[in-house]
Amino acid sequence: MKKVFLILISLFLTTNLFAHSTKNINFDSKANCSKKRSMLNGIAKLKNYKDGEIIKFNSYTGFDQRTVLIDGHKQNPIEITSLLFLPEGSDKVPIVIWTHSSGGPGIYLWNDFTYHGFKNLLSEGIGVLFVDNFCPRGARQTWRDQSKVPLINGAIDAIMALKLLKSHPRSNGKFGTTGHSRGGTNSLYLADVKFTSKFLDGKNGFDAILPEAAECRMAGFFAEPELTHNTKLLLVHGGADDYTLAKFCIDYVEKIKAKPGQIKIDIKDGWYHEWHMGKKPFKVKGAMTLHDCPDVFIDNNGRVINPIWIEWFVKKYKTYKTEDEFYEAAQKEPRKSWKQVFKIMKKEKCISKGVTIGGENMDKYMPQFINFFKENLL
């Protein structure tokens, strides 16, 4: 599997890295990504990223949305590294907080769309913050093994970054967020008022949210979602995506309580996962999917609705004595508990491997991406 990973990274680097930088970064090196060093530190030294400012801020490591609702995430503080880019000048500007996919913070460098996307946003007068959700938590990527970092943490980091940037001298107080795949899922967590109200006063949140290729069935979203009151939400998904399936996001959007005109979903016919990568679609045999596992939605108190999960934990595998014991463990040791979930899914043989990613649709998609943030942030 490591050989497959290195081959993929070499493929990305050959076509993209040298187009944007003058120095090679070994994405599989602990020297560039560890609990003590973020990959963003290395990226910030590259020629085309040298105008960025490294900003560290306090965040938390949680298990899921329930741990946030009961403040359990606060048991696990962590320092996060981010990289802030601002347009030239001294004017106050809106800022888009960008969270990475399962590929890790390296996507800020090797992904053609991410590079050109943030450069285009800057040219329009919109700042961009890249956030590293993985290195501080001891992971470099999760596409082969999603048990390494609980999904919710990208969302926690993003909203903690928003709280920090509100007082930045160049911030005008308007914020957007985006990301692809795991990053898109993080963006969608940030669209629900029940989550954001644990961090922000009132029922407002991000002004503009654009999740790409989000996982809408297994992420533990609320069964009765309510959009933050000031938010415009645009979900974009590839119709041919076999990694995160579009049909589940279509169903989820219909459930969201919102005002008319607040939400739009755009399914791109024939587009695969990572449709704007700049490479023709290709197979990735080692990428993990959970399509055959039971769904995960939560009630307004954060408890999992599908009874099969607690039945597995408590009765079948006796990993925990009671449901409450499970939730208590998830608060204290979120990463260990997250791994327990994946151990049980492996025993139930509902985890699969193998997806198709790639596409050369950056030029087709870029105007829609940029215009969404221009219309809702400027």
- Delimit the domains of the chain by residue range: 2-377
Predicted TM-score (pTM) of this structure: 0.93
Which pLDDT belongs to residue 18? 39
Coil, strand or helix at 103: coil
Q: How far is CA 363 from each of CA 18, 103, 172, 244, rounded to the nearest angstrom?
A: 20, 22, 29, 22
CATH H-level, domain 2-377: superfamily: Alpha/Beta hydrolase fold, catalytic domain (3.40.50.1820)
pLDDT in tens, the chain (378 residues): 444 444 444 444 333 443 454 345 565 567 789 999 999 999 999 999 999 999 999 999 999 999 999 999 999 999 999 999 999 999 999 999 999 999 999 888 888 899 999 999 999 999 999 999 999 999 999 999 999 999 999 999 999 999 999 999 999 999 999 999 999 999 999 999 999 999 999 999 999 999 999 999 999 999 999 999 999 999 999 999 999 999 999 999 999 999 999 999 999 999 999 999 999 999 999 999 999 999 999 999 999 999 999 999 999 999 999 999 999 999 999 999 999 999 999 999 999 999 999 999 999 999 999 999 999 999
Side-chain half-sphere of 19: how many Cα atoms within 13 Å? 15
Coil, strand or helix at 156: helix
CB 222 within 8 A of CB 246: no
Which pLDDT belongs to residue 168? 97
Which pLDDT belongs to residue 222? 98
Which pLDDT belongs to residue 2? 45
Kind plus residue range of the DSSP H or E element containing 342: helix 334-347
Coil, strand or helix at 57: strand
Phi-psi region of 302 (alpha: psi -120 to 50; beta: other; left: phi over 0): left
